């Protein structure tokens, strides 16, 4: 263990038995550098604080699933440092240890900051002033890119190419196959470019508003601040609302018994087809699919998550839960009017306390901008991490099927144990062997390599990644990391203090007040999506982080606790919209709390109390 204000040294973390050589399956620039052969790079790494990105990757990530991280490694930093020109920050560098992603925050040389400020003000000022127009364009171009990707043809290699190639002087199908992968990766990169067109700006706006309000009202709670920004209808919520609409329709049509007949979609569909009312409901189901079923069953960051499109039993089971709750007389509609009324009341109370007219003007301006932009946090998640990733995963599997057809891999999902740079080589091998009329070189090369990688990957799951690596800074002020992750000075201190503590002796945790209210009940610790099915009505959900797709379970739970995530992260935002008490960024919640523990969540103060152990 490290001492003082240091977390473990990334170069001293030992590989688990059975994971030796894991580095070769990821891009060469992901593992921490070898100190003997790359001393300069290692020295840079040793000088930085690296956060474990459990927000996006709470579980080990396979080589091809790492594509999403690789893309935002590029694009987040592009928009922070080179496009919007944040004065003090270049972006976030990324590294990996045993399938876990770590990120740092790279600062600009203080001498360069004055020259960057005018560019920052000009560019960010334009974007925020023209927000509505730019966002409308964003929706159009993003949806077009997704639909164009969905329509992409991934060609199979025929016995013979068409004679039209000769007649029209075009090219071989093999060329089309190679181009298709490159085009797919171009689209992946572009969707993530556009993801960050606004993402960092929203974080900046939120932090500016929070800092100003806390300056005006030193005693104001995070609960009160976040309540002033609640009450918006994001695209992500629309998907779950469609399921609620279908649940209500089943009751209206009197087909609820058919919908509840089985947890398997094919059985339910067969029953519904036997009656006019059932067919009516099926028509509504089909109509809702585009685009709302382009939702991940979990986070959208793992190929194992599945989507509502390819796992129809998932939305069906959610509808069945809603039907059961509606039959009990429960109100499942998001309490938007209550949220808005409370938002406006609190805002007006604080505004009336501002005596200085200039301060009041600044308050009004910052609040208006924050409310104007806040929807983007959940809107972009629907378009990018859910809709686009659903489409991209479908295309990845088409390439996987081609590899299966040519004997290079045994199962379609084996493709996920290749990284994105290896796949063009495999496709080139397949194409070359097709041209030559011989078996692909990869038929004997890849199966044992894939088997080895799968075994290593399973062993990754035995490692509990440290929350951070490297030296702890005296002052950490990156607005994006604070806003989205909850990584700030207080969080760092909690992690440092917890390194040598016996978690069985901990009786309370401090985090951020993510959503107002107080609740007491049984804890349900969910470390992955596989645990969600164990949730019982009234449980308090405790997780490393929570992604928006988990919102389907929010009507069942009574409160939320997370290890990481800021007050404008997904967990806090969704909890506020459902009026669920939430405490985020506890740092060690999933280590300290066990399923069945009776806990008290105080979303007003950011405290979690362990009332009784299971």
> Cα–Cα distance between 311 and 309 in angstroms, integer?
6
pLDDT band of 170, cuts 50, 70, 90? very high
Assign 559 to helix, strand or coil. strand
Dihedral sign, Cα of residue 579, residue 526, residue 411, residue 453? positive
| Beta-carbon-side half-sphere exposure of residue 274 (alpha carbons within 13 Å) | 9
Backbone angles phi, psi at 107, to 5 degrees: -90, 150
Dihedral angle of Cα 360, 364, 366, 368, to the nearest 10 degrees: 180
Output the pLDDT for position 549. Answer: 67
Q: Span 168-176, mean pLDDT?
A: 97
Q: Would you call 528 exposed, middle or buried from its count of C-beta atoms within 10 A (0-12, 13-18, 19+)?
A: middle
Alpha-helical (H) ranges within 273-307 are 276-292
Quick one: which of 384, 416, 388, 391 has its CA closest to 26? 416
pLDDT band of 33, cuts 50, 70, 90? very high
Tokens for 468? 């951070």
Q: Using the 8-state DSSP alphabet, how is residue 6 labeled?
A: B
Where are the domain boundaries for CATH 3.50.30.10 in the chain? 503-612
Percent of the chain with pLDDT over 90: 78
Dihedral sign, Cα of residue 601, residue 602, residue 607, residue 609? negative
pLDDT band of 548, cuts 50, 70, 90? low
Residue 558 in this model has a pLDDT that exceeds 80: yes
Dihedral sign, Cα of residue 168, residue 172, residue 177, residue 180? negative
> Cα–Cα distance between 451 and 364 in angstroms, integer?
59
- For the whole model, what pTM was predicted? 0.91
Among the residue ranges 436-445, 533-542, 565-574, 589-598, the one predicted with the least confidence is 565-574
Q: Which residues pair with 132 in a beta bridge?
A: none
**50-52/100-103 β-pairing:** antiparallel
Percent composition of the chain: helix, strand, coil (DSSP 3-state, to 5): 55, 10, 35
Residue 96 in this model has a pLDDT that exceeds 90: yes
> Cα–Cα distance between 606 and 569 in angstroms, integer?
15
pLDDT band of 569, cuts 50, 70, 90? confident
> Cα–Cα distance between 235 and 227 in angstroms, integer?
20
Residue 151 in this model has a pLDDT that exceeds 80: yes
Give residue-wise pLDDT tens across range 220-278.
Answer: 988 889 889 988 888 888 999 999 999 999 999 999 999 999 999 999 999 999 999 99
CATH 3.40.50.2300 fits 503-612, yes or no: no
> Cα–Cα distance between 460 and 59 in angstroms, integer?
9
Q: Taking the CA atoms of the chain, what radius of gyration do you get in angstroms?
A: 25
Tokens for 324? 């059961």
């Amino acid at each position: 263990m490290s001492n003082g204000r240091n977390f473990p040294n990334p170069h001293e973390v030992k590989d688990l038995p059975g994971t030796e050589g894991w580095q070769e399956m990821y891009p060469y620039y992901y593992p921490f550098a070898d100190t003997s052969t790359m001393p300069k790079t290692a020295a840079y790494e040793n000088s930085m604080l690296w956060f474990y990105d459990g927000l996006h990757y709470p579980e080990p990530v396979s080589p091809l699933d790492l594509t999403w991280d690789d893309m935002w490694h590029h694009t987040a930093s592009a928009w922070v440092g080179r496009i919007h020109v944040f004065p003090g920050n270049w972006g976030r560098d990324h590294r990996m240890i045993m399938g876990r992603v770590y990120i740092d925050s790279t600062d600009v040389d203080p001498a360069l900051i004055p020259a960057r400020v005018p560019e920052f003000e000009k560019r960010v000022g334009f974007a925020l002033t023209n927000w509505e127009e730019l966002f409308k364009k964003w929706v159009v171009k993003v949806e077009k890119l997704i639909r164009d990707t969905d329509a992409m043809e991934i060609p199979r290699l025929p016995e013979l190419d068409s004679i039209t190639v000769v007649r029209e002087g075009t090219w071989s199908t093999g060329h089309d196959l190679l181009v298709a992968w490159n085009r797919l990766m171009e689209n992946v990169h572009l969707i993530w470019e556009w993801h960050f067109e606004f993402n960092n700006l929203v974080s900046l706006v939120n932090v500016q508003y929070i800092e100003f309000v806390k300056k005006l009202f030193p005693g104001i709670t995070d609960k009160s601040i976040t309540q002033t920004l609640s009450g918006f209808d994001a695209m992500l919520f629309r998907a779950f609302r469609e399921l609620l609409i279908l649940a209500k329709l089943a009751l209206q049509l009197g087909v609820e018994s058919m919908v509840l007949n089985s947890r398997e979609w094919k059985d339910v569909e067969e029953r519904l087809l036997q009656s006019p009312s059932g067919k009516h409901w099926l028509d509504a189901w089909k109509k809702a699919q585009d685009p709302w079923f382009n939702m991940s069953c979990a986070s959208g960051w793992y190929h194992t998550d599945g989507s509502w499109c390819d796992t129809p039993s998932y939305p069906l089971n959610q509808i069945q839960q809603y039907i059961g709750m509606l039959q009990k007389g429960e109100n499942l509609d998001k309490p938007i009017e209550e949220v808005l009324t409370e938002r406006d009341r609190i805002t007006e109370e604080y505004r009336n306390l501002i005596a200085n007219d200039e301060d009041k003007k600044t308050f009004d301006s910052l609040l208006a901008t924050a409310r104007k932009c806040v929807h983007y946090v959940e809107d972009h998640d629907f378009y990018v991490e859910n809709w686009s990733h659903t489409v991209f995963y479908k295309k990845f599997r088409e390439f996987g099927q081609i590899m299966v057809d040519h004997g290079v891999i045994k199962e379609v999902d084996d493709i996920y144990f290749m990284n994105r740079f290896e796949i063009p080589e495999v496709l080139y091998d397949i194409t070359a062997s097709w041209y030559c009329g011989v078996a692909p070189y990869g038929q004997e090369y890849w199966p044992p390599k894939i088997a080895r990688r799968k075994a290593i990957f399973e062993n990754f799951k035995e490692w509990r990644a440290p929350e951070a690596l490297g030296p702890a800074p005296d002052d950490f002020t990156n607005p994006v990391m604070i806003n989205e992750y909850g990584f700030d000075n207080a969080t760092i201190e909690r992690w440092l203090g917890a390194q040598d503590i016996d978690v069985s002796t901990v009786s309370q945790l401090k985090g951020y007040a993510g959503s107002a209210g107080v609740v007491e009940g049984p804890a349900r610790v969910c470390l992955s999506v596989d645990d969600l099915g164990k949730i019982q009505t009234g449980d308090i959900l405790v997780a490393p982080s929570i992604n928006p797709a988990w919102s389907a379970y929010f009507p069942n739970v009574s409160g939320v606790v997370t290890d990481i995530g800021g007050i404008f992260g997904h967990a806090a935002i969704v909890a506020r919209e459902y009026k669920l008490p939430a405490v985020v960024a506890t740092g060690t919640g999933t280590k300290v709390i066990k399923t069945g523990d009776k806990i008290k969540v105080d979303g007003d103060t950011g405290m979690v109390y362990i009332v009784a152990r299971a």
